[in-house]
Amino acid sequence: IGISLREISTVLPQVRQELRFIAGINIFMDFGGAIAALLFVFAGWGAYGVLLGVGSLSLVGVVVAAIYSLKSAPGVWAWDSAFLKAALRTALPAVPLSVGHSTLQFSDYFLVSYYRSVSDLATYGLAYNLASPTLMAIAAINLTYLPTCVEILQKGRDAFARFVDKSMILFAVGGIAAISFATSAGPALAAWFGGAIYTESGRLLPIVVAGYVFFSLSQLQQFVPGAMIQDMQASARAYLVAAVVNVATNFLLIPRFGMWGAAWSTLGSYALAFVLLSRSVRALLPELRWMSRISHLVALTALSVGFALPMQSRATGPISALLFWGGAARVTVGLAFALRLLDRSDVERLRAFRPFAAS
C-alpha cells in the first residue's frame, strides 16, 4: 500500500519529468525513513521502530507530493469516470506485472534463507548490494523513458524504431561494461567491503549484474507497448512466466548448489523475460533492427569478460580494482567501436547528456 501511494502521489511530476522534485522527495522518504527507523530502534522500539520510521516518513512524503501535484496542475480538478475506466484498462495488467517483478527480485533471497545458512545469505546479499548501482540506472530509466517514448512516437514509427534501436544498443554496451567491471574488480571490492570471508560475493557479482542488465533491457522493451497501444498485458505475461520459472528453478538448484544456483536461476529468468518481451515488441514494431546486432553483442560480451577475467586474481584492493575496471571499461568501449555497435554520434550524444535523442 505504501509503495502504491508513493507511485500515485508522484505520477504528475514523473509525467512532467520534474526530476529535481522526484529525486528530492524520494531521498527524503528513503534516507529520512532510514534515519527515523534508526532513531526509533535506538529508543527501544525494535523491529516495530523500523516499520514506524520508514512508514511515517513515507506517509509525510506522499502528502507533500500530493499537495505539490495539486498546486502545480493546471485547470480545475474534477471527477472523470471515462478517464478512470480507460486508465484502469491500462493499469490493471500492471498488477501481475508487479507480482512478477517482485518474485524475480526476492524469491531467491527467500529460498537461500530457507535452505542455506545465515552466512550464505549475508554473502549473497552483499553481492546484490554491490550490484545496486545497476538498479539505480534502472530507476533512471523508469523516470524518463516512457514519457520520452510517447514524445518521439509522435514523430512517426520509423523515428520511434530508430530511437528504441539506439537505446537498446547503448544500454546493452553499458551493461556489458558493468559486467566487465564486476568480473575484474568484484572479489577485491567485496573483500574490501566485508573482509576476506566475503570474497565469494565478488565472484557472484558478475552473474548478479548480468541479471540486472537483462532486467534493464526488459524495462526498455516493456515501455514500447505502453507508449504505442497503452497495453501492458504482453509484458505482464512475460514477467509472470519468468517468475514461475524462477521459483521452480530456485527450488531445484538452491538446495544443491546454494548461492550459485540462486544466481544462475535468477539470471536465466531475467533473460527469459527479456526474450519473451522482445518477441512481443518485435511483433508490434517490426521496424526494429537492433536484434540483427545480437551476434555482435555476444561477441562483445565474450571478449570483454575474457579480457577482464585474468585481472580478477591480480586486483588486491579497491585502488587496483578501480584501475583494472577503468582498463576493462576502455577495452569494452573500444571493442564496441570496432564491432560498429557505437559511432562518433553516440559520443557526442552522451557528452551532451542526450542518450535518448531521436537521431
| pLDDT mean across residues, the chain | 82
Rounded to the nearest 10 degrees, the angle between the axes of helix 2-9 and helix 46-72 is: 20
Judged on CB neighbours under 10 Å (0-12, 13-18, 19+), 58 is buried
Q: Please, are residues 227 and 146 in contact by the beta-carbon 8 Å criterion?
A: yes
Residues recorded for the chain: 359
Write the DSSP assignment of 187-219 as a string of letters.
HHHHHHHH-GGGHHHHHHHHHHHHHHHHHHHHH
Compute the average pLDDT of residues 142-157.
79
Q: How many helices (H) and strands (E) does the chain have?
A: 14, 0
Q: Please, are residues 234 and 280 in contact by the beta-carbon 8 Å criterion?
A: yes
Query: For position 102, what pLDDT does the model report?
Result: 78
Residue 248: count other Cβ atoms within 10 Å of its Cβ.
13
All three cell numbers of 263, joined, read: 544466481
pLDDT in tens, 137-146: 666 666 677 7
Q: Which residue has the higher pLDDT, 244 or 90?
A: 244
How many Å apart are CA 7 and CA 206, to the nearest integer? 31
Q: Is the dihedral of CA 109, 260, 314, 214 positive or negative?
A: negative
All three cell numbers of 210, joined, read: 548480468
Phi, psi of 117 (to 5 degrees): -80, 170
pLDDT in tens, 275-313: 999 988 888 888 888 888 899 999 999 999 888 888 777
Q: Please, are residues 238 and 97 in contact by the beta-carbon 8 Å criterion?
A: no
How many Å apart are CA 57 and CA 60, to the nearest integer? 5
**Would the pTM count as exceeding 0.95?**
no
Compute the average pLDDT of residues 261-285.
91
Query: For position 358, what pLDDT does the model report?
Result: 44
Residue 323: count other Cβ atoms within 10 Å of its Cβ.
15
Identity at 327, one-letter amino acid code: G
How many Å apart are CA 169 and CA 299, to the nearest integer? 14
pLDDT higher than threshold 70 for residue 315: no
pLDDT higher than threshold 70 for residue 332: yes
Q: In the chain, what percentage of residues exceed pLDDT 90?
A: 14
First to last CA, the chain: 41
Helix (H, G, I), strand (E, B) or coil at 262: helix
How many Å apart are CA 148 and CA 167, to the nearest integer? 11
pLDDT in tens, 74-102: 777 778 888 777 777 766 766 777 777 77
How many Å apart are CA 182 and CA 92, to the nearest integer? 37
